[in-house]
A and B are shown apart, each in its own frame.
Chain A
Amino acid sequence: MSFRPIATTRAATGAPTGRLAVWWLIASEIVIFGGLLASYLMHRLGHEEWANYAIHTNTMAGAFNTFVLLTSSLSAVLAHNAAEMGDGPKAAKYLVATICGGGVFLVIKTFEWSNEIIHGYTITANSFWSFYYTAAGIHGCHVIAGMIIMGFVAVDANRNKELHRVELCGIYWHFVDLVWIFLFPLLYIAK
């Protein structure tokens, strides 16, 4: 049997199955990050001294990373646009730009974290830093996962195949961006 059964092509809700599935994925991810960030928030509110630890996060790096992710979300939108018009190679190029955005994000994070670790702000330094690395780390894993999947989709899109998946990548990437929009104020700006 083909890997695309008739079931996959049906759309009783009106939305294509891929898009429906990605939205359900996003819903479950929202609860994961929501739980983590709610735990962090409750702790932070109960521990005023955490402000003394939080002051050492690198706000410039965080701000620049915010700009990087927002720009990569823009390229994801442009990729979707191109896919909608049927231009696979162009969509692939914009997806690669998005992947590069993710790459830049990770590189900056590497420098940022290396610097912090050298100064003794490790994951076990205190509870604030435990949350910081865990939350940003899980987010980083999602960035990496997104980059890998976008790579596969870009390869297909370049050959004008499975163009509907470009939009799905975009939805996921916007979510990853959104999580960062929450992380940035909670970890970097709140001092």
Chain B
Amino acid sequence: MSHPATDAEGHGHGHEGHDDHHHDPSFWEHYIFSTDHKMIAKQYLLTGMAMAVIGGFLVYCFRMQLAFPGMHVPFYGVVSPMEYNALVTNHGTIMIFWVAMPVLIAAFGNFCIPLMIGCDDMVFPRLNRLSYQVFLLSAIVIVASFFVPNGGFGGAWTAYPPLSGNAEYSLTPLGGSMWVLAVALEFAAFLIGGINFVTTAMNSRAPGMKWHDVPMIVWMICIASILFMASVGPLIAGAIMLLFDQQLGTGFFDPRVGGDPILWQHLFWFFGHPEVYVVLLPATGMVAEVMPVFARKKLFAYKTILYTAVGTGVLSFFVWAHHQFISGIDPRMANVFTVTTVLISIPIAEMMFLYIATLYGGSIRLTTPMLWGLAFVAEFLIGGVTGIYLGASGADIYFHDTYFVLAHFHYTFFPIAFIGTFTGLTYWYPKMFGRMMNPTLGKIHFWGTIIPYNCIFIPLFVLGAAGQHRRIYNYNHFPELSTPDMQALRIVATVSLLVLIAFQFLFLWNFFYSMWFGKKAPKNPWRATTLEWTTESPPPHGNWPDGLPTVYRGAYEYGVPGRDEDYWPQNEPN
């Protein structure tokens, strides 16, 4: 049972109510400089969505170039080779750091954690605001990098030196350093935010909420934050070294002066691999929240899922060199990393099976969030299985740097960043904005996303297996890669992308229109058991002005025998 710590003056809070803020906030206080976790969540969400539009525009440009080389791309122009590099680099960088992370972790973490553990805000509201401001600055820096002389950095999101460390090679003296700076600022923002999330979840739980009553999404975001904090350090050191190489002429990664480019690879991937689990775990958390609600059935094997997530996190630190199989590392080391890489597929596959087990025997309602949750499991399984091919170091000799890799990681990243996001967004939208989204539009958007998405990336598996390498701006220069069949597949992928993009406008319409004109949402439109559904939609300042809830049971008590209702909220005494 928790007891509030006394503050420095020696008196504790005698009552759980408080009210020392009496004036109505101005527009600036309410929307721009807010310390309220719900507003900060929305700031992260909207920024992430805007960056997704930018990231989507970038992929549109370079995929048009790939399908129709040399064409004048509408709204852009002709894509030069150097611009192509900058487009692919920034597409990847933006989607991972400025879309997946802010939306999945910062937006949903900020919104859901205090509400789902039954407290009134994050433990450090001003630090929370600071983390968003640093994040916003990082977003401004990366976008600004496109407009400086010589344009944005084009050395791939992996930024390998010597290309990235030397302006003679990268040809982007300013863009390269702005890229590093933007990523470093983003890291700082997430370190600050992570401390807030983990401390809040550990310490500020509602009375009666034991660790196994905490909703899975909260656990997942916390584990992801810890994973991030533990893995990003070496890359921060590496980023400083790269910046010094770029700007001061040091030679940390320059072999001409005794540096080692492979050092960068190790520093990058030691972070880079846990990073994918940093974004995966929150996405699986969304699915874990949505499936019990729409199968009206308890989450299957809660503790196993939790231990699996922790185990995955730990194991993720021991697989990184599978990105470096053909970079010159000792083949015996490659063997070790093959073993660990194949091993890590087991806990994640198990997690997917546990979600399927949650569905078994359930009373399934195919609402929009449920459709997205089901799609996550199906699509992610394809990504996971294709990862096994790549994890085998022998096979990777062929597959490395081909489109097979690219299709693999889009079958993992797209479910994570988009399907996971849509799962959470369509589910929590009523709570966030107090309105219901249009379900018909939601379902059309769902199918209009999933079908084109597969039509983009299945061809890319085929192209990759046929030997198409990544990061090449015009395959017409390679006779064996520019057969009519292969070019046809490129065109199929690009046209499917255009269809995918078109359907996203439907989502944007639904999202913004419903905010003002959607049906007003009740407290608990989905009849769910977790704490956020016990307060108004949207929750007022302080979340529960009449007193924070107490918890009496776990988060997934659905279909409990002998009860009238098929769900038993966490905060009801009986």
Contacts and interface: CB of A to CB of B under 8 A. Distances in A.
Interface stretch (A24-32, A64-72, A93-101, A183-191): A24-32
Interface residues of A, number: 48
B241 A28 contact: no
B236 interface: yes
A80 to B, nearest CB: 13
B198 A31 contact: no
A4 B7 contact: yes
A5 interface: yes
A5 B244 contact: no
B258 A35 contact: no
B5 A7 contact: no
Nearest to B21: A1
Give the one of A15, A47, A134 with max B CB within 10 A.
A134
B233 A30 contact: yes
B21 A134 contact: no
Contacts of B12: 9
A142 to B, nearest CB: 13
Contacts of A131: 252
Given A21-B124, A31-B234, A130 B250 contact: yes
Interface residues of B, number: 64
A3 B35 contact: yes
Could you tell me the dominant secondary structure of chain A's interface residues? Answer: helix
Nearest to A32: B233
B229 A27 contact: yes
A11 to B, nearest CB: 4
A29 B191 CA distance: 10
B270 A35 contact: yes
A38 interface: yes
A3 B125 contact: yes
Interface stretch (B48-56, B202-210, B501-509): B202-210
A36 B267 CA distance: 9
Give the one of A11, A12, A130 with max B CB within 10 A.
A12
Contact of A39 (B8, B18, B263, B548): B263
Nearest to B36: A1
Nearest to B270: A35
A11 B16 contact: no
Contacts of B209: 12
Contacts of A163: 8
Contact of B229 (A13, A28, A36): A28
Contact of A24 (B7, B195, B233, B237): B195
B13 interface: yes
Contacts of B36: 1
A42 interface: yes
14 contacts: A1-B35, A1-B125, A6-B18, A6-B548, A9-B12, A11-B4, A20-B202, A20-B203, A21-B195, A31-B234, A39-B263, A43-B263, A130-B252, A138-B237
Interface of A: 1-13, 15-17, 20-21, 24-25, 27-36, 38-39, 42-43, 47, 123-124, 126-127, 130-131, 134, 138, 161-165
Given A11-B5, A25-B195, 9 more contacts: A1-B21, A2-B20, A2-B21, A5-B123, A12-B202, A21-B124, A35-B233, A127-B250, A161-B8
